[in-house]
Amino acid sequence: MPIPFPDDSVGLVRPRTQVFEEPLALACGRSLSGYELIYETYGELNAARSNAVLICHALSGNHHAAGYHDENDRKPGWWDSCIGPGKPIDTRKFFVVALNNLGGCNGSTGPTSVNPATGTPYGADFPVVTVEDWVNSQARLADVLGIAQWAAVIGGSLGGMQALQWTISYPERVRHCIAIASAPKLSAQNIAFNEVARQAILSDPEFHGGDFQAQGVIPKRGLMLARMVGHITYLSDDSMGEKFGRELKTDKLNYDFHSVEFQVESYLRYQGEEFSGRFDANTYLLMTKALDYFDPAQAHDGDLAKTFANAQARFCLMSFTTDWRFSPARSQEIVEALISAKKSVSYLEIDAPQGHDAFLIPIPRYLRGFAGYMNRIEV
């Protein structure tokens, strides 16, 4: 007999797919003639249609943000710690929508999908999509769902960038923007790490210029390396130290290059291998490019305050002390710009040892602060 789901879980959920037949023009100059978005919803849309919140995912996320896909499923959605009855994004109050972004590899149209124009998978030919493109595609999903205005758009990391972009692209359609562990644009170091990840994938002989699917192979080593280097940046030096220290894998040193000497090597290899078996290499490239290109202030002479001039949302920014990928200073840049633009903004810096990954972790002060803000949203 299946073990019952926890009381504060949204329980069994089932993804749905929405087909869009109207072409979508993209920032890169190309367009998609049609596309599908896979999404999940949790909670109920109220009669006034005023309680909908949108969850935007980060680099390797997807539409399965909370709950379980079948009765024997023991692994809930990626943000289950924050979505559910009594959790910060309380499904007794909110109607929650989570989707897989365009270019993804979990059900929305992306590189692994068949290009209707050719009858074969897009592969390397899938157009580069940006945060703006995603927000446009999400707005169409909102139209279909009858959501004229989100009570809140919420995301961490790259998801936070989408939440911010919503307030710029569709100012009248967002009442609250919650951007967690995010940044107004990547630093040179952020881009550099992405570039290493991309080069690892591009240089894998199994990548075949992005058309590996047609060859029946996957660039497993490249994806593994990309994930390994990414993973280092998601954890703090301290949290890695606490988790692994210099613990040896076996009692004695092997003095060779193939043995795993330290626990941290074993952990990274496992993370990399597991990821390379489930994620699409072209999607990984697309997601890192979306990160690199995000720079909403560019159209406003680099002035972030001007960028948010027309935003109507209230903002909540959160950051974590040991996050060195998108440090608190990056969130503070946004906070300062919003203050200059005379917007309503709350900011919470959470003392947490877990680095960038902290936004996925149920840290009590984080959950309390997050819930405190969400509870004050009127629906």
CA dihedral defined by 214, 192, 290, 119, rounded to 10 degrees?
-10
Which helix H or strand E contains 178, and what residues bound it?
strand 176-180
Q: Minimal distance in Å, beta carbon 130 to its own copies?
A: 8
Q: Is 331 a catalytic residue?
A: no
The two structure tokens encoding residue 89: 């994004």
Paired with 192 in beta bridges are: none
Contact 249, 234 (CB under 8 A): no
DSSP 8-state code for residue 150: B
Could you say which of 60, 157, 239, 327 is catalytic? 157
Interacting positions 277-296 with its own copies (CB under 8 A)? 285, 289, 292-293, 295
Nearer to its own copies, 7 or 251 (CB): 251
| 210 lies in the site for its own copies, by CB under 8 A | yes
Helix residue spans in the chain (DSSP H): 131-145, 158-169, 188-202, 212-215, 220-234, 237-244, 263-276, 281-293, 304-307, 328-340, 364-375
Q: Is 356 a catalytic residue?
A: yes
227 in a known ligand binding site = yes
357 in a known ligand binding site = yes
| 251 lies in the site for its own copies, by CB under 8 A | no
Segment lying near its own copies (by CB under 8 A), choices 44-52, 71-79, 237-245, 362-370:
237-245
Q: Is 157 a catalytic residue?
A: yes
Nearer to its own copies, 269 or 365 (CB): 269
Please select the residue that binds its own copies; options are 241, 277, 362, 372, rule is CB under 8 A: 241
- Distance CA(18)–CA(37), nearest Å, equals 5
- Distance CA(223)–CA(41), nearest Å, equals 30
CB atoms within 10 A of CB 357: 21
Q: Minimal distance in Å, beta carbon 303 to its own copies?
A: 15
Which residues of this protein are in contact with its own copies, per CB under 8 A? 27-29, 124, 127-128, 185-189, 191-193, 195-196, 198-200, 202-203, 205, 210, 221, 224-225, 228-229, 232, 235, 237, 240-241, 243-246, 253, 255-258, 261-262, 264-265, 268-269, 272, 285, 289, 292-293, 295, 324
Catalytic residues: 157, 323, 356
